[in-house]
Amino acid sequence: MIATAAHYKPRLTEYISDDYGLNTKSLLMKDIFTKVKSIALLENHIALIGEIGVGKKRLAQIIHKYSFLEEGPFHLFYCIDITEAKFKEAFWEHIHFENEHLQIKYEALEKAGGGILYLDQFSELSGEYMLNIVNSYIRGCNQLYKYNTSLSPRLILSISQDAFQDLAKTDVWDKLLKLLNPITIMLPPLRERKEDIPALIKSFVTEAKSSEDTWQNLSITSEAVNECKTYSWPGNVRQLKNAIHQGAVLSHGKTIESHHLPFSMNWKLPYK
């Protein structure tokens, strides 16, 4: 179901560009941003698929900001190393006696009520846990929001590219599709959109400058930028951000040079 025209936000592309610190030059990302502009206004659940560090959580936050649920919460549930106790606490129903009445509680669903429930690293769960969470989500929404379905939180699933290759071959994925009917968005790795690296670096340098009073004159050489442009970035945008932060630390907040970048990117010793 599409939200009303009153919820439409024509500045979505501008916001996304600002939020990522760049006006993307990548045709792949421009295509994704165009799709997101429409998807954000729908009620469908979403599966974000991409390599670790590619920016799935950031995109989920952008979808939330420009959806009809923007006034509601963005609740993140971290799925790695989930225990049975943690799962039950978040997704199983709990009976409470309040104001002389018995009430049903679902912790995660109530924290995300009227907003987004983002299941971070969802694909790291076992198939059993994936289905248990989704089934508990559906059961809980039917109990909590049966008289006001507009408060039912929208699900966004974070799925790693590697895990998806195996997951897509299982009946677990088929069941998830039937239960949620999610819109799937595939995010490209940074090595497939290297034209965006200079603008990302500029954004991360600006962010670093604002994090330390003594880093106000922080800059980066063209040689160091070129090093970044030729690197393969297995850790994607997250790794690039960490590399720039390391460069800021090692350069004492002055000028990031090639030898300030991680050793995996530059074979030259930084000392003479």
Q: pLDDT tens across 118-129, in order?
A: 999 999 999 999
Q: Quick one: three-class SS letters along 124-136?
A: HCCHHHHHHHHHH
**pTM value > 0.85:** no
Residue 7 has pLDDT above 60, yes or no: no
pLDDT of the residue at 59: 92
Query: What is the average pLDDT score of the chain?
Result: 86
SS3 144: helix
> Which long-range contacts link 125-133 to residues 24+ away (Cβ below 8 Å)?
125/79, 125/82, 127/167, 127/170, 127/172, 129/79, 129/82, 129/87, 130/172, 130/176, 131/172, 131/175, 131/176, 131/179, 132/87, 132/91, 133/87, 133/91
Residue 254 has pLDDT above 90, yes or no: yes
Residue 138 has pLDDT above 70, yes or no: yes
pLDDT category at 256 given cuts 50, 70, 90 is: very high
pLDDT of the residue at 124: 93
Higher pLDDT, 246 or 28: 246
SS3 104: strand
Residue 16 has pLDDT above 70, yes or no: no
pLDDT of the residue at 96: 64
pLDDT tens-digit readout, 66-106: 899 999 999 999 998 888 888 888 888 876 656 666 677 88
pLDDT category at 27 given cuts 50, 70, 90 is: confident
Residue 171 has pLDDT above 70, yes or no: yes
The conformation of residue 258, written as its DSSP 8-state character, comes to G
Every domain of the chain and the residues it spans: 5-188, 191-265
The conformation of residue 188, written as its DSSP 8-state character, comes to P
Q: What is the mean pLDDT of residues 36-65?
A: 92
Q: In CATH, what is the architecture of 191-265? A: Orthogonal Bundle (1.10)
Write the CA distances from 147 to 143, 150, 197, integer angstroms: 9, 9, 48
> How does strand 219-220 pair with strand 94-98?
unpaired
**Fold that domain 5-188 belongs to in CATH:** Rossmann fold (3.40.50)
Higher pLDDT, 56 or 37: 56
pLDDT tens-digit readout, 172-202: 999 999 999 999 999 999 999 999 999 899 9
Tokens matching residue 40: 């954000």
